[in-house]
Each structure stands twice: as structure tokens, then as C-alpha cells.
Structure 1
Amino acid sequence: MSEVIEQGEAPAVADANVVRVKKRAPRALTAGAAVSALLVLAPLLFTLYRAGASGIDDAIELLYRPLVGELLVNTLLITVSATIASAIIGTAAAWFIERTHLPGRRCFAMLCAAPLAMPAFVSSYAWVSISLDLQDFAGALLVITLSYFPLVYLPVAAALRGMDPALEESARSLGCGRRAVFTRVVLPQLKPALYGGMLLVALGVMSEFGAFQMLRYRTFTTEIYAEYRTSFDNGGASLVACVLLLMCLVVLALEFRLRGRARYERVDRGARRAALRYALGAWKWPVVAGYVALAIVTLGVPIGMIGFWLTQEGAAAVTPAEVSPQLLFDATLSSVGFGLLAAIVTVLLAFPLALLLVRYPGRIATMMERSVFLAQGVPGLVIALAIVSLAVRALQPLYQGLTLLIVAYAILFLPLALVSVRAALMQAQPRLEDTARSLGLDATRTFFRVMLPLAGPGFGAAAALVFISVVTELNATLLLAPLDTHTLATQVWSDTSTLAFAAAAPYAALLTAISFCASGLLFVLLGRSALHDTTAS
């Protein structure tokens, strides 16, 4: 394998006569990584092409309608409101769990993370089935906030656990009270985690479709779907999608500007000390009551309403409907099958790019990585719509076929898999592979006997994460699923849209159970991955 001298690097300190060299990546590996990046870029570029093909006059006529202004206000209002509410709830929940002597804090920590396994459209189904009066802004804000606040809670809780307690001790020794310590010391240190979580919430809210459709709250995503349904494969949906895409890019830029370039890592090299914990005093039981109330509204109500409708006859709902056992079995089989197949394909696509980033880092690898992560900031409905239009125009044999649906899943969730696969490969130290090669093992046996045992839990975590996302995915499935193919998610959406709440209950129950089981497996695999990382270090 050829080697090139890495330009711009100083010689190694240990030996002034030794120049660090950088291995050139194999062409096959670079090509495989490029395929992953191009798959993500293709629908985004096609969306821009379709929007540009509409013409300036048609674009002005479409975008300057009063409806677009209403959609802009609605989308901005729900995004800002839900992001702020999630930031407040997530930060408060993390603070009391990580920094106080809260009774049952480990249990509450699990309950605060659990809503991530409950799809937002399933929560919408549960709340709407209680009262149709929730089909407005207040109902949308309630459901979306309860579904997305864990995206703030998890990173903020992790930041609080890793924060150096010496900073707070110094502030307390200088006379600062608890409130001053929190606002002047702790909160500034939480900025990266807090802004990162708020970014995820904002992008998730702007991308949300199923919940808003059930709650009858009109946003850009619901209008994009309506444009697609009323005028198939025209430029209108692409133009509206470009407006939503621009909003997502503005949010990304705003988060980068607010976060700034400050660095927050620990500089001490000593053993990690336990974080400070404060006594709650008279506030102990009111805080516990708050966590119980939060658990009830996030998990108790959805699970309770699903259980309630499971005990009702189909005629008990607003719209009578019966559940077909065969359809229930087919929908479950389709959801699990799609999830497993998409998980395998997505992890395989992520592997060459992750290996390139870990073993052969450089500008090309970084550029490909950033291209893939564009999918994380683009609404799934926009990507799905672009794939539909692209298939109709250039890939007609693949339209409404299983292959195209799996490719769409891979594009949507490739960033999630890439993070876990890259972290797993970093645990497999190159010197162990070199040792195996020196003992006579070829590349294939080295992979299965050395790399896979070390990185296997990380690969499994990536597959589990993709599986959960695919099982609960709605946008691409509605647009790209083969004819007469049903999944648990699409059946919940279909029955709830017609107010057949009792008919939707079995599908919602199975979907929730599968999601929670897969989430439990994910946590186990992540724990094993962390154990391997600790052992290797």
C-alpha cells in the first residue's frame, strides 16, 4: 500500500528524523464511502432542481399566497414554543436528577428518557382520542413538547454528570448562593449540550408530520403532503419543501452562532469526582410529585388510552371499525421485516464511510461525512417526496417497490448509524489488526475474528437505532410503500385519521411494545460498547 507524507505536519517529537506518514485509503473503500454520500445528496439536489424548474413567475405566485404566510407563522410558532418548553422541562428534569438528593432518581431518569420510544403520532392518537378539542395549537404544543423534551434532557444530564464540581465549589466559597451558582457557573457550562438539544428539538418539530396531521395543525409538512396528494409530481410541493429546507438551514446556522467557539472540556487529569448534590428540604415531595405528573402525561396517558381502546368494541369509537387479525399480522410482519432489512442495509452503507473516517481521516472523508449529516437537518417528508419524484422520472421500475423503500430508509437514518459505527470502529485498535495480519490472518478472517468482536456491540447499537426509527417511521412509508402493503405506523395513522380509535389500538399497542423492546436492547448494547471502550483504554 502506498504512503504519502502528510503535508503541514511537524516531525514527531520523539525522533526528529522520523516524519509522520499518512496511509492512502484504498480506492474501493473511498468509492464505497462516496456511494453513501451521493445517496444522501441525490434527493436534496433533485428537490432544488424541481423547485428551480417551476419558473420564477410560478414560484412567486405559489409562495406569496396567504396560505404560505399562515403556514410560516404556524410552523415558527410551534417550533419556537415547543423548543423553549422542551428546554425548560428537560433542563429542570436533568438538574433535579443529577444534582439533588431526589428519592427514586434512577427510576425517574429512565422515565424521562422513555418518551423517545413513544412515537409522537402515537401520543397524538392517545390524546386526540380523549378529546377532539385538542386538535389545535395547545394540543399540538402539549403533545410535541412531551415527545421531544428528552432530546434536551439526555445531553444536559450527561453534561451535568461530567462537569467539574470544583467550579461550583469555588463559586460557593466566594459567597455565591445556589441560584447564583446555577446561573453564573452551571448554566454557561451547559450551553453546548443545551443548544444541541434545542437544535434537535427544533429540527424534529419542523420535520414532524404524523402528529400534526392527527392534531389538525397545519404546518409546512402537512401542506407538502397535501400538495403531493392533490397534484402528483409537480413543482409546488418542491417549492414549499425548499422553504422548509431553508428554515432548517437557518436553525442550524443560528445554533452554531449561539454556541460559538468556546471550549468547555476539563483540563484536570485527576480522577473524576462525584458531582455536588443539594438537599431539597421542603421541596422534596413537590418535586417528586412533578416527576410523577410528568411520567403520567408522557407515558401513562398514551399507554392508558391504548389499553382503554383495546377493551372497547370497534363500534365504541367515533367511527365504527373492526380489526382484521390477518391485517394486524401482516402489518406487524411488514414493520419488523422493513426494520430488520433497513437496519442491515444502513449499517452496511455506514461501514465504509466510518472506516474511512477512523482509519484514513482527511478532507475528503470529512466532506463526505458532512454530506451525510445533511440528512439529519432535512425533514424526512422532503427527502421522501424527492425520492418519489426521482423514481417516477428516472427509476420507474423501482417506484413503489421494496428496494426503493429500503433505500429511502437508509438515506433518512444513515447519520444515526454512522455515529454508532464510527464510535465502534474507534474501539477496534489498529495494532490488534496488524498483529492478526502478522500471524497470517487475511483481511476477511481479521475482520470476523478481531474487529467484529470488538466493534460488534456498536454495530448492534447502530442497527437497533435504525430499526426503532424505521418501525416508527411514517413519512417515507406513506409515500413509498408497495401497493397493498401496510405497517403498524400507517395503520395507526389511517384509523386515527378516520377517528376509528378502537381499530387503531392494537396497532398502536404492538408498535409501542416493539419500540420499547428495541430501545431496551439498544441500551444494553450501548452499555456493552462502553464496557469494551473502558477495557480497551
Structure 2
Amino acid sequence: MFIPLVYLFVRAGQAQPDQLLELVFRPRNLELLWNTLLLTAGVLMICSFLAFPLAWLVTRTTIAAKGWLTVLAVVPLAVPGYVMAYALLGIGGNLGVLSQLFGIRIANISGYWGAVWALSLYTFPYLFLNLRAALMGLDTSLEESAQSLGYSRWEVLLKVILPHLLPAILAGYLVVGLYVLGDFGAVALMRYEAFSYAIFTQYSGAFDRIYAAWLSIMLLALAGMFLLMEAYVLKRKRLASVGSGVGRAVSPKPLGAWQPLAWLYVAFVFMASIGMPVAMLGYWLFLAPPDISVFWQVPVTFMHSALAAMPAALLAVVLALPLCFLSVRYPSSVTRLLERSAYIGYALPPLTLGLAMVFFALQTAFFFYQTLGLLIIAWTIATLALAMGPIRSALLQMRPSTEEAAYALGYTPAATFWHVVFPRLRRAVLAALALVFLFCMKELPITFLLAPTGYSTLAVTVFSRTTEGLMAEAAPFAAAIVLFSGLSVGMVLNREAQKGAR
């Protein structure tokens, strides 16, 4: 976990003192910082516009088909940011869908607003899920008390509800913000010069690898500031009820005259986040299809992705099992340090992690450079924390008394783990495998930097062909990603529904 950090700073430390001052205080850095912050702010604003009203409708109103609306609000996670950017780029221009079908010529949707909408339409479900859970758990007696004191509905929203939603909002903002900082695909396709795009340009063009390292450190510092800001805002906040009694469930209110406007808003959200990319893919697949030979390449490219993703998923789970077991069953300062170190890779922006692994291979293990093994290890570092989530939760729910009983019957620690603990962790292990596998199948920045020459995955193929303007040739690969991701998201939602029913 510390290898990427160490080698990133080692590479950056190769700068001479006078060169260091020039690199750090270069005017372009300030421009990149402003562009990155502006992009993050724009995405958070659009995500709030998409997620908050939708979460309110499915939790606080009597709108019909709440279950289906909730499912549809999560489905956009199946359309990665670079695929969303691909769909937006296919709308405008002389060869775009509007021009070809209706003779309407509009400028290409690119630059700042193209990147903002591509990232927002993909990431708003993260904020929606946090807000939905918080709204469902909020004690409605607090609102009723405020109304009895003469507060208007807007005052209740601003002074009672929003402060209690602050942890959920910040948690969603943190996930979305870190994703935006580390995104490379949508930003590069939209030609918007944020930190991630500048890092890739410096590295791929071999202009200045030391400058690329310092840009990565600046991006890492920016991500760290997001974490510190969230911790500072939530410091000493106490939002739990301190009175006696039990919180009451939400009583949904009818929409009344607002119902047509609510359904219009819902239609806009789902047409933009699901309908638009599906329509674009349908156009390039059926109305302007590529050569049939392109379709035959999809299974091979899918296998390339899967053959790298599966070992990474297995390795992440194998490493997560002892880490989780030690931290839960044998808590100490050492095990806490081990557990927290696992989050380094997940917190690192993917492009920064990939670049650090490049430096590591070039300076220490050159034989490892441009190999599938290096890509698998980098994916494992990036996803270890993701694999630990389900496993750690399952261990916390298990009673230690069952293991103590096995010890009393003469079982060794290894036999106890294999015969008593592991069978109860099978579902959690499968969930961890699925999460990491799905992440790796869609992952772009690390793959683009570390994949062996000529080893094309689905994500890299979509990005490369879209960059070259080959929209039709990219469509089958983009459709494969959306289909596979959609099935995976559907399986997760179905499992959650079954758990809720039980």
C-alpha cells in the first residue's frame, strides 16, 4: 500500500531545487487547480439537482412505483463516465445523431459542461442513495415540533431537515468529489484541462515525467483536503435525539397539483441518465452499425478484461480476509494501522496510483513493467478497501462464542477458521468478489497506463476509439460494458430486495 506513495515522492524528489520551485509555482498549476475545483463544484451542483428531489419523492410523497423509481435511480451506475461522455459526444457535430437523423446541426457537447454532465449523470446515484437512507431514518417528530412552533415548511427544510441530512450529503459529496478528482476518461474525451488530463498529457507525451509526478502529488493533496474538510465540518456535530420516546416513521404526503411537474422531472432525470446513452448506443449499433468484424472482437476484448479482473478480485479477497479477521477479532494499534493502510489505495486518485506504479516498475522492477501482473497488483491495491467492506461487516455480525466452542472441542485456529468462520463468510466473500470484479471491468485510468502493449480491455477500447472519432466502432464495446454492469447492478439490487423481504 505504501509502494505507490513512496515511489511517487521518490520520482518527484528527483527535481533540482531551482527546478522544483519552477514546477510547483508554475502559473499553469493555478489554472489546473481552478479548473479542477470548478469541475468538482459543477458536478456536485448538478448531482444535488438530480438526487435530492428524487430522494424526496420516493421517501416523502405518495408518488407511484417507488420501488421501480429507486431501481432506475441506481441503474446509471452501470454507465461509466467515459461511456456517458461517448454518448454526449455522439449527439452533436456534423456526424452526430441529430444531424444524421433530423438535419439539426449543433456544436459538439464538450469542454467544461460536457465533462460536468457526463460525470454528474453517472455519479448522482451515490448521493441519491445516501439521501434516501437519511430521509427514511429521520424522525418526523422533529419536523412536527418545528411546525408547532410556527416554522413554515421552508424554514423546517432549511433549519431542521437539511442540518440532519448534512452527514449524508457530505458522505455523498465526498464519494462524488473523489471520483471527479480521479476521473480521466470523461475529462479527456471532453478535452477539459483538469489535473487528471494534464497528468496524462505529461506522461503519455513524455514531456516531463517529474512534472507529472508533482501534478499527481498536487491532486493527492487536493483529495486529502476533501477528506479533512468533511471531518472538520462533522466534528462535534450531534444529530441524534436525546429525548425519551421512539422516532416515528415517515408519513408520505400526496403531491396534489405538483404531480405532473414531479413526473416531468422524473422523466427528465431518467431520459438523460439512462435513455440518452441507450439511445446513442442503439443508433450506432443498429442505424449506423460498424463492420461486422468489429462485433467479433467484442468477446475477445471482454475476455481480456475478465482474465485480468478475476485474478485481481481473487487476490483482493485473499488479502482482505486476514486483515478483516485480525482487525475484528484481535483489535490493537498494529491491526488498526494495518486496516487503515488498506484504504490508501482506494483514496489515491486512480491516475496517480497508476503513475506511481509506473515509476515503481521503471526504477525497481523493470522486468515487471508493461506486464499483466503489474496491472493486477495495481487493481488489487485500488480495491482492497472495497473487498474489505462486506467481509468486515459479516465478521462483526458473527458471535465469537462459536469460535470459542470450536477451540474447546480441540480445533486448531486454522481448522476453526476453515470449518466455522469461512462457511459463514461465503456470501460476504462472493459480494466482495463481485464488487472488485465489476470495478476492474469498468476501470480506465490504471488500465490505460499499466496494461501490456496490445492488451486492450473494454474500457480502453471504448476510450481509444472514441478519441479517434470512431463512434460506431466504439459502440459494441460500450454496449458490452453497459450490459455487463447493468446485470451486476441488477443482481446487487435483487439481493438487497431479498434481504429487505427477509
Q: Is the 8 A contact 1:87 1:152 kept in 2?
A: yes
Percent pairwise identity: 34
Q: Is the 8 A contact 1:491 1:504 kept in 2?
A: yes
Out of 283, 291, 299, the position equivalent to 2:266 is: 291
Query: 1: distance between equivalents of 2:365 and 2:265?
Result: 53
**Is 1:513 aligned with 2:466?**
no
Query: 1: distance between equivalents of 2:498 and 2:407?
Result: 26
Match of 1:193 in 2: 168
CA drift at 1:261: 2.2
Partner AA of 2:116 in structure 1: L
Match of 1:116 in 2: 77
Query: 1: distance between equivalents of 2:247 and 2:386?
Result: 29
Query: 2: distance between equivalents of 1:521 and 1:268?
Result: 41
The 5 Å alignment of 1:268-347 reads 273-313=248-288, 323-347=293-317
Q: Is the 8 A contact 1:457 1:528 kept in 2?
A: no
CA drift at 1:276: 2.7
**Is 1:401 aligned with 2:371?**
yes
Match of 1:49 in 2: 10
Q: Deviations over 1:404-446 (max 9, x none)?
A: 1111001111121122221121122211122233344444443
Q: Deviations over 1:195-249 (max 9, x none)?
A: 1111111111111100011111111111111111122783121011111111111
Q: Is the 8 A contact 1:103 1:288 kept in 2?
A: no
The 5 Å alignment of 1:31-430 reads 40-132=1-93, 133-231=108-206, 234-265=209-240, 273-313=248-288, 323-430=293-400
Q: Deviations over 1:73-121 (max 9, x none)?
A: 2111111121122134322221121111112222111111111221000
Query: 2: distance between equivalents of 1:56 and 1:154?
Result: 48
Stretch moving more, 265-274 or 421-430: 265-274
**Is 1:455 aligned with 2:416?**
no
CA drift at 1:268: 7.5
5+ residue gaps, structure 1, are 1-39, 316-320
Q: Is the 8 A contact 1:210 1:474 kept in 2?
A: yes
TM-score, scaled to structure 1: 0.86
Q: Is the 8 A contact 1:90 1:152 kept in 2?
A: yes
5+ residue gaps, structure 2, are 94-107
TM-score, scaled to structure 2: 0.92
Stretch moving more, 381-390 or 248-257: 248-257
Query: 2: distance between equivalents of 1:313 and 1:208?
Result: 29
Cα distance, 1:130–1:197 mapped onto 2, change above 3 Å: same
Aligned length, in residue pairs: 488
Query: 2: distance between equivalents of 1:460 and 1:268?
Result: 42
Q: Is the 8 A contact 2:88 2:109 kept in 1?
A: yes
SS in 1 for 2:133: helix
Match of 2:105 in 1: none
Stretch moving more, 137-146 or 220-229: 137-146
CA drift at 1:271: 6.7
Partner AA of 1:184 in structure 2: K
Q: Is the 8 A contact 2:59 2:136 kept in 1?
A: yes
Q: Is the 8 A contact 1:468 1:519 kept in 2?
A: no
Q: Is the 8 A contact 2:141 2:247 kept in 1?
A: no
Q: Deviations over 1:464-513 (max 9, x none)?
A: 11111100000111111122211111110111011101100110111111
Stretch moving more, 271-280 or 240-249: 271-280
Cα distance, 1:270–1:357 mapped onto 2, change above 3 Å: farther
Out of 426, 435, 446, the position equivalent to 1:476 is: 446
SS in 1 for 2:343: helix
Q: Is the 8 A contact 1:152 1:201 kept in 2?
A: yes
Query: 2: distance between equivalents of 1:495 and 1:352?
Result: 42
Q: Is the 8 A contact 1:465 1:522 kept in 2?
A: no
CA drift at 1:523: 3.2
Cα distance, 1:448–1:128 mapped onto 2, change above 3 Å: same
SS in 2 for 1:134: coil
Partner AA of 1:82 in structure 2: V
Q: Is the 8 A contact 1:350 1:414 kept in 2?
A: yes
Q: Is the 8 A contact 2:82 2:463 kept in 1?
A: yes
Q: CA RMSD in A?
A: 2.2
Q: Is the 8 A contact 2:141 2:248 kept in 1?
A: no
Query: 2: distance between equivalents of 1:322 and 1:59?
Result: 52
Cα distance, 1:375–1:223 mapped onto 2, change above 3 Å: same
CA drift at 1:61: 2.2
Q: Deviations over 1:288-326 (max 9, x none)?
A: 2211110010011011111110114467xxxxx774345
CA drift at 1:402: 1.8
CA drift at 1:451: 2.1
Stretch moving more, 122-131 or 245-254: 245-254
SS in 2 for 1:149: helix
Cα distance, 1:345–1:217 mapped onto 2, change above 3 Å: same
